[in-house]
Amino acid sequence: GELLHTASPLLEKQYHPTVIVKGYMKALDDAVKIVDDIAFPIEVNNREQMLKLVQSCIGTKFTHRFGTLISELALDAVLCVATDLPNGQKEVDIKKYAKIEKLPGGSLEDCHVLKGVMFNKDVVLPGRMKRKVENPRIILMDCPLEYKKGENQTNVEITKEEDWAALLKAEEDWIEGVCNSIIKFKPDVVVTEKGLSDLAAVYFARAGVSAIRRLRKTDNNRIARASGATIVHRADEIRESDIGTRAGLFEVKKVGDEYFTYIVDCEEPKACSVILRGASKDVLNEVERNLHDAMGVARNVVQEPKLVPGGGAVEMAVAKALQDKAKSIEGVESVPYLAVAAALEVIPRTLAQNCGANIIRTLTKLRAEHAGGNDTSGIDGNKGVVVDMKDLGVWEPYAVKVQTFKTAIESAALLLRIDDIVSGITKKQGGPSGGPSGPQVEDHENVDSERQLAE
């Protein structure tokens, strides 16, 4: 918005939008280089530094009063699901592999990140299947373990009573065959996304296998990542390598009125569940939102481990560097180039405004600090004074900051290229200067509720 605002005086002076856009884009390239120079690397495994960073993201939120609890949960979850790609980058998919489970009851201090996954299911036959298995062998499937119905209407004519028995026997034999092809791999836990008939459950119970049915696809993917299993599509395609053996414990626990299955103590799990406990649903929802923000910050830093100072310090440093550089640019492009520098100062100005400080004095002091070569000076959002962000410990992820600059400048350039918007600005300001020429009558269709009577 500020970039468009600084562009309007240039448009009035008959600068062509293409010239302005060119200057803006040049400024963007230089701004990214300047941020690169200011940024410094962070060691992702340095827990204390990472906690400080995530803490500055939730400093103004509801969960701030609980100390570093949420920051630690977010950091543990993100480091758990981070995987190295072959091209040297990191993939952190917190949406798919870090599930937040909200369980009402208990206190907030009971929140924790599991070294594995948890889901709201119980075994199929609670009385006859084991609810606790140590070092389980897990088979994951996404096919039904029950007899298939005919695809369209199937009529069977039976003349003798024995034929009916033979028909039922055929169904039972088929299910038994499927169960045996699974049981021969000696699994302790069988999980399927589809249905599992009572008969199959009985066969599994006899073989000492705990079975879970109708699990969500997303939960199944998480178990696969945590236990090292591969999801199998047909019972006769199971191989030894598809069985998950990395889990340390399979256990079904009762929390409140419901049963929850825990597959935990995994070796190097690449998926996790974050358990949130709290007095009421409203508290849990608020904690979940805060945790989501914190996990986003942690993910950005793990993917690109670089930091820049917060509190408007970067914007001010970039603005100053652009102003210095504009002197070396020849021709008309230096004017829009300077306009970007002026527009960037809106961030520290708004910060000063929000905390009720004297805007002009604070900004002048901040400019003087940056002119003296102190790049990390910014505004303390609580007190409204100029401080060194290194001492205050307010940092922002490099990736977010660069993306903000790119989005702002590119959006402004996009809008400036549209003729009607440009002419709309000029028409608005170039309208008739005098008052209305005659009495203005408003009917009910064109009533302007915004217009105020002259005092």
Q: pLDDT (tens digit, 9 = 90+) per residue, 30-53?
A: 888 888 888 888 887 778 878 877
User: Mean pLDDT across the stretch 181-191?
Assistant: 90
Query: Across the chain, how many H-helices and E-strands are there?
Result: 16, 18
Q: What percent of the chain has pLDDT over 90?
A: 6
At 381, give phi and psi (nearest 5°).
-65, -20
Q: pLDDT (tens digit, 9 = 90+) per residue, 104-134?
A: 888 888 888 888 889 898 988 888 888 888 9
Q: What are the tokens at 10?
A: 């240039």
Taking each helix axis from N to C terminus, what angle separates 281-303 and 398-416, rounded to the nearest 10 degrees?
Answer: 90
Of the pLDDT bands very low, low, confident and very high (cuts 50, 70, 90), residue 425 is low
Give the C-alpha distances (Å, rounded to integers) separating 185 from 146, 237, 242, 362, 392.
19, 12, 10, 72, 58
Q: Residue 72's closest CA among 291, 318, 387?
A: 291
Scanning 140-216, the segments in alpha helix (DSSP H) are 161-183, 198-206
Q: pLDDT (tens digit, 9 = 90+) per residue, 213-244?
A: 999 999 999 889 888 889 999 888 888 888 98
Cα 333–chain centre separation: 39
Question: What gap in Å lies between CA 351 and CA 412, rounded to an integer?
Answer: 22
Question: What gap in Å lies between CA 91 and CA 78, rounded to an integer?
Answer: 10
Q: Among 20-29, 53-62, 73-82, 284-293, whose mean pLDDT is lowest?
A: 53-62
User: Mean pLDDT across the stretch 190-201?
Assistant: 90
Q: Residue 228's closest CA among 215, 209, 242?
A: 242
Question: What gap in Å lies between CA 62 and CA 43, rounded to an integer?
Answer: 28
Q: pLDDT (tens digit, 9 = 90+) per residue, 317-347?
A: 888 888 888 888 777 777 887 888 888 888 8
Question: What gap in Å lies between CA 215 and CA 121, rounded to an integer?
Answer: 8
Of the pLDDT bands very low, low, confident and very high (cuts 50, 70, 90), residue 312 is confident
Burial of 328 (0-12, 13-18, 19+ CB in 10 A): exposed
Q: First vs last Cα of the chain: how many Å apart? A: 32
Question: CB neighbours (10 Å) of residue 52?
Answer: 16
Q: Among 63-67, 144-148, 345-349, whose mean pLDDT is lowest?
A: 63-67
Q: pLDDT (tens digit, 9 = 90+) per residue, 156-165?
A: 788 888 888 8
Q: pLDDT (tens digit, 9 = 90+) per residue, 64-83?
A: 777 788 888 888 888 888 88
Question: What gap in Å lies between CA 281 and CA 184, rounded to an integer?
Answer: 45
Q: Give pLDDT, residue 64.
A: 74
| pLDDT at position 286 over 70 | yes
366 touches 378 (CB < 8 A): yes
At 185, give phi and psi (nearest 5°).
-85, 5
